[in-house]
């Protein structure tokens, strides 16, 4: 059997590590996995990126590399999100040039219209502008879907994409400024516990989110690479019934730490979209029996990982 060479851009990040952890249980002998980081090449640079394709000669590519942050980072850096468009254009163009058999790019539920009906599904991506807080990143990611269809129609390329809900897990970005909600809460709770100071929660905590554990997402992306036949994107998220409020997520973090100190709410901060409820009917059609890690367990595992790796964790 011919060897499958899978090159993963952004492979040192949260989702890349989720895939690596998932592969510990599901590695196939004919697959060679190559996990790249930003140290390997600037993916905005065509010639530098071309050298990676020459070196590794991938038959498949999982494109995870992106410049991304949490709500407050995105509010202040919508223009910087353009670098995602640059990376996406270079990577997909070279995948076409080197006749890569399949490409799976990673999008986000933030690409969906701000004003919409719920639950959102894969047919609704381009029905209106994304939320103002993240329009730069949202439009850059939407264009991947446009490019996937264009490359398929013009050149016959099998380029597709996945749309995860809010991701968290080991190797996340736990930055208090740039990180997403769960890793940010974990870092805050760690510092509050360590220095015996109040834990400050931003906003009311009422917005609702579907949270997916990075290891579960890794398993699903591996399945998409091996099995998913469509060009059209597929939402990868926990079931709608498992959507929880940011306040609930915060309480799970607090319980995982056993934090007993003072909790303060800062109601002056923006909270972004109230909800982004995503339908996983398409995923369930393909994988009706897939079992997600319970959110409580996944948060406990992430908290334990952060405790053990505080000094080296991205923050």
Q: Which residues, at least 6 apart from 103, have a Cβ–Cβ distance to it below 8 Å?
A: 60, 61, 62, 63, 91, 92, 95, 148, 157, 158, 159, 160
Mean pLDDT of 93-114: 95
pLDDT at residue 174 in the model: 92
Q: Which residues, at least 6 apart from 76, have a Cβ–Cβ distance to it below 8 Å?
A: none
Mean pLDDT of 130-157: 93
Q: Which of 56, 135, 137, 195 is catalytic?
A: 137
Q: Which residues, at least 6 apart from 97, have a Cβ–Cβ distance to it below 8 Å?
A: 53
Examine the residue annotation and report whether 151 is marked as an active-site residue of this protein: no
- Which residues on neighbouring strands pair with residue 32, listed in sequence order? 5
Regarding the domain with residue range 4-168+210-241, which homologous superfamily does it belong to in the CATH classification?
NAD(P)-binding Rossmann-like Domain (3.40.50.720)
pLDDT at residue 61 in the model: 98
Please, what is the average pLDDT of the chain? 91
Block residue for tokens 């997402």:
217
Task: Enter the pTM of the model.
Answer: 0.92
Q: Do 180 and 209 form a contact (C-beta atoms < 8 A)?
A: no
Query: Looking at beta carbons, which pairs linking 113-116 to residues 24 or more positions away fall under 8 Å?
Result: 114/273
The pLDDT of residue 109 is above 70: yes
Q: Name the residue ranges covered by the structural domains of the chain.
A: 4-168+210-241
Mean pLDDT of 163-184: 88
Higher-scoring residue by pLDDT: 179, 238: 238
Q: Which residues, at least 6 apart from 98, have a Cβ–Cβ distance to it below 8 Å?
A: 53, 57, 58
pLDDT tens digits for range 23-82: 998 889 999 999 999 999 999 999 999 999 999 999 999 999 988 766 666 667 677 777
Mean pLDDT of 144-170: 97
Q: Do 17 and 214 form a contact (C-beta atoms < 8 A)?
A: yes
pLDDT tens digits for range 264-303: 887 776 666 788 899 999 999 999 999 999 999 999 999 9
């Amino acid at each position: 059997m011919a060897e499958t060479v899978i090159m993963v851009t952004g492979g040192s990040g949260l989702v890349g590590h989720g895939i690596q952890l998932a592969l510990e249980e599901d590695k196939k002998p004919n697959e060679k996995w190559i996990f790249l980081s930003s140290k390997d090449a600037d993916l905005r640079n065509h010639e530098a990126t071309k050298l990676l394709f020459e070196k590794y000669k991938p038959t498949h590519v999982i494109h995870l590399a992106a410049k991304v942050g949490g709500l407050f980072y995105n509010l202040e850096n919508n223009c910087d999100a353009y670098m995602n468009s640059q990376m996406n254009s270079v990577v997909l163009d070279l995948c076409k040039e080197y006749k890569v058999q399949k490409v799976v790019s990673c999008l986000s539920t933030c690409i969906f219209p701000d004003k919409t009906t719920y639950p959102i599904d894969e047919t609704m991506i381009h029905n209106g502008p994304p939320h103002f807080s993240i329009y730069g990143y949202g439009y850059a990611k939407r264009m991947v879907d446009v490019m996937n269809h264009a490359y398929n129609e013009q050149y016959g390329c099998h380029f597709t994409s996945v749309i995860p809900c809010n991701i968290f897990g080991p190797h996340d970005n736990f930055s208090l400024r740039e990180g997403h909600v769960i890793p940010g809460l974990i870092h805050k709770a760690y510092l509050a516990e360590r220095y015996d100071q109040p834990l400050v929660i931003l906003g009311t905590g009422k917005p609702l989110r579907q949270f997916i554990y990075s290891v579960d997402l890794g398993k699903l992306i591996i399945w998409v690479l091996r099995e998913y036949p469509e060009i059209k994107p597929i939402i990868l998220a926990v079931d709608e019934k498992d959507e929880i409020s940011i306040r609930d997520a915060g309480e799970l973090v607090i319980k995982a730490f056993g934090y007993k100190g003072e909790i303060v709410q800062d109601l002056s901060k923006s909270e972004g979209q109230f909800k982004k409820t995503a339908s996983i009917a398409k995923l369930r059609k393909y994988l009706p029996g897939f079992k997600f890690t319970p959110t409580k367990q996944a948060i406990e595992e992430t908290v334990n990982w952060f405790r053990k790796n505080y000094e080296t964790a991205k923050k």
